[in-house]
Amino acid sequence: MGACASQSNRASKLRSDEIDRQLEEDSKRYRKECRILLLGSGESGKSTIVKQVKIIYQSGFTKEERLAYRKTIHKNVLDSAQALVEAIRKYGIEDLLRDKLVCERILPAADGESTADGESMQGRLTPGGNEVQAGDGQEGLGRELANAIEVLWRDPVVARLLDKHQSEFYLMDSAAYFLTDISRLSHPSYVPTEEDVLRARAQSTAITETRFNVGNNLSIHMFDVGGQRTERRKWIHCFERSAQHDEPHILHRAQRVRPGAVGGEGTGAFPFSPFTFPPPCIPLPALTTACANPSSSSRASSTPPWFLRTAIILFLNKLDVFRVKVAKIPLQRYFPEYTGGSDIREAAKFILWRFMQQNHARLSVYP
């Protein structure tokens, strides 16, 4: 009996020692690891950063992984075409189209109106909701629908619509890229390229973790909280341990709102709270906005104790889209104190200055 008890005790001690050793190794690994939190609203470029990391620091996307983006890309195409049709009807210019029936082929009206949430398009989607139902039995965009979208996109009315009213309705940033290449995207044997994957827009609904190494000594653990950005309890635990072990971590915040009338969600407003820091990292095209409008995502991530020693990397991205917007929409309309006119460099410097004014916590900021 005594021998059995002794063997059991030794086995228990070995297991305990192994657990302690593993905990110590994990602790050392965590101390060498830099954690990055990507936090912000839709279309600010968070998921694109994760994709770029996969391409640059990992093995990139396999053919199978790229094929998985077909559904998303085809839905992006149809959503973009829908947005154009709705805008054409909103501004009463449908009769100016060369093909008067093209809108009906893309987005049949329901009781004379098309819905903003896409319900009128459900007949063109498979039960999964992400794949466009093909008319020729192939998976993807049907030939008839793809032809109608191409006809619409090439119509001069669309160019005039975008020139006069693009800031007044939502059209995803990748719309022109995808619609210009509709014939390739709609081919039955279409395989998305890495550029297509980077341009694809899908709403994130889960927390995504990505690990990669930079050189031999730096390990990065990146978190994209996606649609959970306001559910702090679902992701804050990822950084509680960082604070306990004094590990380095970086916060990248992003904010994106839909262009339209000034003033709030789904509009051209550019809300960031003047009362919290870190400030949102806002893609430059979203800067046609009133900054005194506090946003829920800013309030949800005002500096908690876990981020008191956090470094901030401030990305003012999508410069190409911002350049177009600044040329058409005066920045001083939303920031009366701005005096730089349509100069893109002056506009970017002003936005950076506005952000730095919010650093009341005196965190390290790297623009």
CATH of the domain at 280: 3.40.50.300
Structural domain contains residue 157 = yes
Q: How far is CA 111 from CA 81, 84, 96, 189, in A?
A: 20, 19, 22, 37
Is 358 considered catalytic here? no
pLDDT at 228: 53
Higher-confidence residue of 332 and 258: namely 332
Higher-confidence residue of 228 and 337: namely 337
Structural domain contains residue 253 = yes
168 and 53 inside one domain: no
Higher-confidence residue of 7 and 282: namely 7
Confidence of residue 40 (pLDDT cuts 50, 70, 90): low
Is 276 considered catalytic here? no
331 and 230 inside one domain: yes
How much is the mean pLDDT over the chain?
Answer: 72
Report the binding-site residues. 43-48, 173-174, 204, 224-228, 317-320
Is 332 considered catalytic here? no
Is 265 considered catalytic here? no
Mean pLDDT confidence for 327-331: 85
Structural domain contains residue 294 = yes
For residue 121, the domain's CATH number is 1.10.400.10
User: Of 191, 224, 249, which closes a domain?
Assistant: 191
pLDDT at 307: 66
Kindly report the number of other CB atoms within 10 A of residue 158's CB atom.
19
List of residues 6+ apart from 26 with CB closer than 8 A: none
pLDDT at 109: 40
pLDDT at 197 over 90: yes
Residue 102 CA to residue 151 CA, distance in Å, equals 7
Catalytic residue (choose from 86, 150, 196, 224):
224
pLDDT at 275: 28
Is 43 considered catalytic here? yes
pLDDT at 117 over 50: no
User: Of 140, 165, 191, which closes a domain?
Assistant: 191
Q: Which two tokens stand for residue 173?
A: 């940033």
Residue 280 CA to residue 355 CA, distance in Å, equals 8
224 and 319 inside one domain: yes
Structural domain contains residue 17 = no
Residue 77 CA to residue 57 CA, distance in Å, equals 29
Residue 43 CA to residue 38 CA, distance in Å, equals 12
Structural domain contains residue 16 = no
List of residues 6+ apart from 352 with CB closer than 8 A: 314, 316, 367
85 and 109 inside one domain: yes
236 and 255 inside one domain: yes
120 and 223 inside one domain: no
57 and 135 inside one domain: no
123 and 243 inside one domain: no
Catalytic residue (choose from 66, 70, 201, 256):
201
Structural domain contains residue 23 = no
Report the binding-site residues for Mg(2+). 47, 204
What domain count does the chain have? Answer: 2
Where in the sequence is the domain holding 300, given as residue range(s)? Answer: 33-61+204-366
The most confident of 67-81, 203-217, 343-357, by mean pLDDT = 67-81
Report which of 272, 295, 283, 67 is spatially closest to residue 185, judged by C-alpha positions.
67
209 and 237 inside one domain: yes
Alpha-helix runs per DSSP H in the chain: 2-31, 46-57, 63-67, 70-90, 102-106, 143-154, 156-165, 175-180, 182-185, 194-199, 232-235, 237-244, 296-300, 319-328, 344-356
176 and 258 inside one domain: no
pLDDT at 196: 97
User: Of 166, 191, 216, which closes a domain?
Assistant: 191
52 and 78 inside one domain: no
